[in-house]
Amino acid sequence: MHVFTYGTLMFPEVWRAVVGRQFESVEGRAAGYAIFRVRDAVFPGIVAAADESTVSGVVYLDVDLPSLQRLDAFEDAFYERRAIPVDCDDGRRLEAEAYVVPKANRHVLTDESWGRERFVASGGLRQFINRFAGFGRVAGMD
């Protein structure tokens, strides 16, 4: 199955630290979603949006079940994994699994939009990698 990532997992170094391997990927956009920073965190969450919002991200193609299980453990119960349509930059429209913030957890989101460039420029990527490096080994997933 395909996995749409819109936050920290868009970065290959974070993806590899969590999943332990690389997959072919393509940039894409999920229409009908908005992205916000999680309170007291450097990472984001997406929620369904009523307006014409879109969230940009990366779709990892043909992700295997062991890798999906690692992602589920990494994202834990804060997110809900669900299939959403994604318009890819190569012209394809794919159904991809995405980790969406459920209604019960929306109170944890700020009203601050989250962006890839700002995340890198602020040092968030380096901080995130330092915190979660070796996630798979720590969680006993090797």
Q: Which two tokens stand for residue 72?
A: 């589920």
Instruction: Give residue 36's pLDDT.
Output: 96
pLDDT under 50 in the chain at which residues? 136-142
Domains of the chain: total: 1
Instruction: Give residue 132's pLDDT.
Output: 67
3 state SS of 130: helix
Residue with tokens 């989101």: 109
Instruction: Give residue 116's pLDDT.
Output: 87
Q: Which domain holds residue 71?
A: 3-138
Instruction: Give residue 96's pLDDT.
Output: 98
CATH code assigned at 101: 3.10.490.10
HSE-CB of 3 using CA atoms within 13 angstroms: 24
